[in-house]
Amino acid sequence: MQIAFSLGLGALLIWMVYRNFTEKDKADMIDSFARANYWWIVLSSCIAVLSHIFRAYRWKFPLRQLGYDLSLASSFYAVMIGYLFNLAFPRLGEVTRCAVLARYQKMPFEKLFGTVIAERLVDLVVLIILILAAIFMQLELLRDFLNDLMGPLMEKLESLPFMLTIGVVGIAVAYLGWRFIQSSQHKVAIMLREKIQGLMDGLIALKRMKNKAGFLLHTVLIWTAYIVMYLVTFQAFPETQGVSFGGVLASFVLGGISLIAVQGGLGAYPLAVMSILILYGVDKNQGYAFGWIIWTAQTITILIAGFISMIALPFISKKKEYSGIADESLS
């Protein structure tokens, strides 16, 4: 149901934009796709793959703290499989990349998932910093845009008392459930305690890991690669080459938020990018086409790398298993 809703929302956004297109708008869009310098898009895709390699390597640090020496290839394949599933299934990518390693590498799922949650919390902090940086750098230009964006949200705050009541009830239910899990000897409670303990071990691994500098360095490399990946795409059109770094950063973060809000960013990502680029003098049709080109390139990259990873991960895991059997026979 959630998948259908998200895809339906993306399709609705596409329809809402397309229905207002004149014949000239359609012709301008087609011309934009034809005039793009796709070598810059290819370079962007290569940098995107590099960012995924950095992410795969960063994952090795907390896992090593837990006593698991995962190969870079296995980590990369798991990450890409996770991205692939995220295109279709909301928030399932993180679960999937842990599940495939749990299956093929015989690692405990709960501990793997704990490390992924810890990683995502770090990434969330970085994203918030980038959002604040974009607002600070372009405050004058973005002020009206932010007011229009936040207006509907402020209206929803009128129902704050009701939301607070729901929140208090939810916290009370969660507390009672937690007390049951802690004290009960029921087999379900015991199983949940073991799962939660494994999850906590994964979270704590990030705090206790020895090479925190290596983890932070790769976090910087990941997000630097993300920004550079996005920055080089602006060279694909003469109209976008003059956009300031502040504008690039603003459209980057809003595009990133759209990927979270709508599954895979379908329909929302091009619209978010266009909304920002208009503020910097880029024609709306050019900006919309630009957003679609970036979204399509990113999606194709994930599809290709994800399907290759689905084939490769079982193969290298099986090869490792056979190697282990051979080693034992020689000992």
pLDDT tens, residue by residue, 183-195: 666 665 566 665 5
Please give the model's pTM, rounded to 2 decimal places.
0.79
Report the alpha-carbon distance of residue 140 to residue 309 in Å, rounded: 45
CA nearest neighbour of 47 among 225, 168, 284, 234: 225
Structural contact between residues 115 and 63, judged by C-beta atoms closer than 8 angstroms:
yes
Q: In this predicted model, what pLDDT tens digit does every residue of 304-316 receive, in sequence order? A: 999 999 999 988 8
Instruction: Share the mean pLDDT of the chain.
Output: 79
Report the alpha-carbon distance of residue 214 to residue 220 in Å, rounded: 10
Give pairs for 56-61: CB < 8 Å, separation 24+. Answer: 57/218, 58/119, 58/215, 58/218, 58/219, 58/222, 59/115, 59/116, 59/119, 61/209, 61/211, 61/214, 61/215, 61/218
Q: What is the pLDDT of residue 311?
A: 92
Whether pLDDT at 329 is above 50 = no
